[in-house]
Amino acid sequence: MPSIDLLSLDPRLPAIVTGSVVTVVILLLLFLQRAPDLVMLGSVVVLMAVGIITPDEAFKGMSNEGMLTVAALFIVAASVERTGALSLVVDRVLGRPTSIASAQLRTMVGPGILSAFMNNTPVVALMVPAIRDWAKKHRLSVSKLLMPMNSAVVLGGLCTLIGTSTNVVVSGLVLEKTGKGLGMFQITWLGIPLFAVGLVYLIVASKRLLPDRRPVMSEYDDPREYSLEMLVEEKSPLIGRTIEQAGLRGLDGLFLMEIDRGGHVIAAVPPTERLESQDRLVFVGVVDSVVELQKIRGLRPATDQVFELDGPRAERVLVEAVVSNTCPVVGRTIRQSRFRSTYNAVVIAVARNGERLNMKIGDVSLLPGDTVLVEATPEFIERQRTSRDFYLVSEIAGSTPPRHDYAWIAFTILVAMVLAATLELVSMVTAAMAAACLVVVSRCISSNDARKAIEWESLILIASSFGLARAISKTGLAESVAHCTISLAGDHPYVVLAAIYFVAMLFTELMSNNAAAVLVFPIAWQTAVNMNVSPMPFVFAITVAASCGFATPMGYQTNLMIYGPGGYRFSDYMRFGGPLNLIVMAVTVFLAPLIWPF
């Protein structure tokens, strides 16, 4: 079916239709609170169907370098996470927070400084899974951490020329006008004050303006408590640390009952107790906590039979299975039943109707209805789903043990990627794609896990936003809004500067940051020339405004990356990011003319 040519009906109609579509998108994102990717994709399809944008323009975002970079970074981040490299670094850098404000400061300062010398997108892509796991470990609300971290990263990117691609784009526009681009640290004079003021706001405002959303146990969640033993390995980095220093005290959903040290049982374990080699730690906890316990370096299930299973441990998974009354192991202890040789799986924990089993795993006599948590290969699931030995067999998501031996490889690839992009040896997309290929080839992550690591919802959301931005630009809607706003500002330099900033800030909430900068730059430059003032305050105002879109998920690419993982809603961005937009605007409009006089 041919598309409709709206321009032939009325030259103003495309802009009106586009404005209407943008309004509907904002309302849907504000009140629907789910499926933002489908909302954005639907808007692009509508604009394409009525002939405002062509199919090439609608889906150009699918091949955009930024979108492809994010896709590759999902794989790189997953490899660093799966090998345990990221958790080792994060645990050392972030440590144990004493309050939510302390946690926020820890998750903002480091990433914010890093983003000054590294593109914002990979910083956020790497920090999201790390902070999510860290928050879960310390029983913190991830919704209180991800948005402040993301905002700090964006503000940190304003401290150097290479901090964001928008800085580089504006420098290129200045180069065309003057024959000389911006210096590496020219924007630093404005960036550091913005970063400092922003941090104060993020810590103070997040307490009241950010939601405290935590996973809530539903009727479908598994409330069963497992009893399991973990062994401190001979060369474990945990040896000599106290229970508290090792992060084994206060684990969410997990309780350390006792330590068996060479036959001597230490009950009611104090937090100051130091771990020794070959200590057997007896835990009781829910399945999610057991999975997290498996990922701690230097601990392994206390049963030696784990090492006798076929295949490398990094290729195994944790499986829940309910013992049936016809299972041949019923009535016998796990040790007597030869469970490993029979099923090529090892029982590492047992749950029995909320009863705490105060005995070693090997001495537990299995009964019908017992739920066993076993470590096995994926083939175990396929074999036992149709078996009469178990009523229910299901894999625990994310339970594959980290490949700690590959951690240094994944970390080396990550550092090489960052250096190659920062030193401009290759483009960011080239560095990210090469790194994604290398982590798969080096077996830091399997090809199947690499596919699963890609968050398609985020990619569709990002790619679709380019089509919507193209429509806003193509129909003249953006230019009309810009000229209207600036014409209302009069001829006072400060007022005009504020108007220019406001227009760029508005555009960056609705389209890509670079597109906003490119659209507003010529208007701002010509306005400065007409007023016979220096254009430099306007240049840096545009640079900041085009990067600082905190009030909508579309305002910045990384805003979309934290949307799902943080459990945010559209209104959260407006409530928390809107005031930050105004604060950054006020500081920029005040400082820019002082640093670069009119």
Residues of the chain falling short of pLDDT 50: 1, 215-222, 306-307
Token duo for residue 311: 């295949």
Is there a contact between 399 and 290 (Cβ–Cβ < 8 Å)? Answer: no
The rounded distance, in Å, linking the Cα atoms of 488 and 104 is 40
* The pLDDT of residue 219: 36
* The pLDDT of residue 221: 44
Question: Residue 232: beta bridge partners?
Answer: 299
Q: Calculate ∠ Cα 12-484-523, nearest 5°.
A: 100
The rounded distance, in Å, linking the Cα atoms of 457 and 26 is 18
pLDDT digits (tens, 9 = 90+) for 275-334: 998 888 888 877 777 777 777 878 888 765 544 555 556 667 788 888 888 888 888 888
Question: Please, what is the end-to-end C-alpha distance for the chain in angstroms?
Answer: 55
* The pLDDT of residue 315: 66
Does residue 479 sit in helix, strand or coil?
A: helix
State if pTM tops 0.75: no
- Residue ranges in 116-221 assigned as alpha helix (H): 120-137, 146-156, 165-178, 188-209
* The pLDDT of residue 258: 82
* The pLDDT of residue 170: 81
* The pLDDT of residue 307: 46
Domains and CATH numbers, the chain: 65-160+175-199+406-458 (no CATH), 226-285+298-395 (3.30.70.1450)
* The pLDDT of residue 578: 92
**Would you tell me how many other CB atoms lie within 10 Å of the CB of residue 518?**
20
The residue among 420, 429, 422 whose CA lies nearest residue 64 is 429
541: part of which helix (H) or strand (E)? helix 536-547
* The pLDDT of residue 310: 53
